[in-house]
Amino acid sequence: MKIIDISLRTLTQMGIVVTLLTGAGAAVAEETIKVGVLHSLSGTMAISETTLKDTMLMLIDEQNKKGGLLGKKLEPVVVDPASNWPLFAEKARELLTKDKVAAIFGCWTSVSRKSVLPVIEELNGVLFYPVQYEGEESSKNVFYTGAAPNQQAIPAVDYLMNDLKAERWVLAGTDYVYPRTTNKILEAYLKAKGVDEKDIMINYTPFGHSDWQSIVADIKKFGSAGKKTAVVSTINGDANIPFYKELGNQGISAEDIPVVAFSVGEEELSGIDTKPLVGHLAAWNYFMSVDTTKNAAFIQQWKDYIKNPKRVTNDPMEAHYIGFNMWVKAVEKAGTTDPEAVQKAIIGIEYPNLTGGMSKMLPNHHISKPVLIGEIQEDGQFLTVWQTNKLVDGDAWSDFLPESKPIIADWTAPISCGNFNTETKKCSGQNY
């Protein structure tokens, strides 16, 4: 009995010590600024999103080495929404209410962003979204550092039309919101450019589609009608590999029918057999192969941080790099991490991107970026064959869709609206 007695007392003592320790811990924690990282670390999207989590940790680490922010250290809070869209909303709520993070960097697919939107708006948080997307959105609380359609899809089509003289178009995509909206915009754009209805072929396939025989045969037939044909691919994920393989097997080379992809980057190409892809195109705002001192330093930093000289960098990583640094500058400018103040301060902030330009946060919460088109090389890198001579401003609402043509987003006074109709002069609020 006595033994138990002693141990009970010890336990109580220990409890007190622990309480003191955690109390002290809490006191220390108050000195830091918390940054939420909301990327899937498991499930289907883990392949792409884990890299972005590591990128964020690297950027935060580097900022801390520079002395932190506003005299405080930055503290990353990493959560795993597990490629589960509703879980994204839950985890975002947890980050904002429980961890009280100053900003969230996260999401990949459009559906995960749409799921987080109501939460982040309700709790007035700040989200930096680093992936190219379909546009038609501008939230007060979200900063879109990836490409809007006019920063990726439209220039790519222009390149195919003007430089490769494409006259017939295949719009092939995976069956979900991003490809469908993008193709709607592209179809309207092509028609505006005088392309005939019968010269456009649109095709959707499920996620992970692997039997491409008939679709590729259709593309081949469509492309053999004597006019130069190009494929604009919004095919997402690993369905790309059997698609390109089938193209190669059916004897369609990049010279005959070039495929320009919007979702195939260095990360997706690393470690796969690139032979059937060589010569096909991709449009991004950044390529690892871009030869600037800033980029070289970034790549080196990444390889050192991840301790693997074979790892590659890609476009969404650059988007996080720009977004994070813009946020840092905005916080410094505002002198606080208060979301309201940061949202005001960040508009107009400029930060050099890795391809040698100066990106700027625009009033519509998108940023200005260069557009690059590259040909896939056998080593999984891109050779830039075309690029815009100046930065392109991201346009939230496409000018090529009749319903979104009169709509603009401008989060500065007097408009202060993400969905403002210039004809009726009305703000329709949000539309998630």
Q: Point out which residues bind other proteins (CB under 8 A).
A: 44, 46-47, 164, 175, 203-206, 208-211, 213-215, 217-218, 224-226, 238, 241-242, 245-246, 248-251, 253-255, 258, 271-273, 278-279, 375, 377-379, 383, 385
Query: Please, which residue, 101 or 239, has the CB nearer to other proteins?
Result: 239
Q: Which is nearer to other proteins, 129 or 212 (CB)?
A: 212
d(CA 114, CA 107): 9
Distance of closest approach, residue 216 Cβ to other proteins, in angstroms: 9
Shortest distance, CB of residue 278 to other proteins, whole angstroms? 7
**Minimum gap (Å) between residue 76 Cβ and other proteins:** 22
Nearest distance from C-beta of residue 91 to other proteins, angstroms: 20
Distance CA 104, CA 164 (A): 41
Which tokens in the block code for residue 256? 């005959």
Question: Which residues, 6+ apart, have CB-to-CB distance to 281 below 8 Å?
Answer: 156, 159, 254, 258, 259, 260, 261, 373, 374, 375, 376, 385
**Single-letter amino acid code for the residue at 401:** L
Comparison of 323 and 374: residue with beta carbon closer to other proteins: 374
Nearer to other proteins, 111 or 383 (CB): 383
* Both structure tokens of 156: 């790519």
Toward other proteins, which CB reaches closer, 199 or 410? 199
Least distance CB 249 / other proteins (angstroms): 4
Q: How far is the CB of 46 from other proteins (least distance, A)?
A: 6
For the bound state, the minimum distance from the C-beta of residue 378 to other proteins, rounded and expressed in Å, comes to: 5
Q: Which is nearer to other proteins, 164 or 415 (CB)?
A: 164
The Cα–Cα gap between 89 and 122 comes to: 11
Nearer Cβ to other proteins, position 99 or 218? Answer: 218
- Interatomic CA distance for residues 167 and 180, integer angstroms: 21
To the nearest whole angstrom, how small is the minimum distance from the Cβ of residue 210 to other proteins?
A: 4
Residue closer to other proteins, measured from CB, 50 or 336: 50
Q: Which is nearer to other proteins, 129 or 386 (CB)?
A: 386
Closest to other proteins by CB, 70 vs 306, is: 306
CB of 39 to other proteins, least distance (A): 14
Instruction: Give least dist CB 195 to other proteins, A.
Output: 17
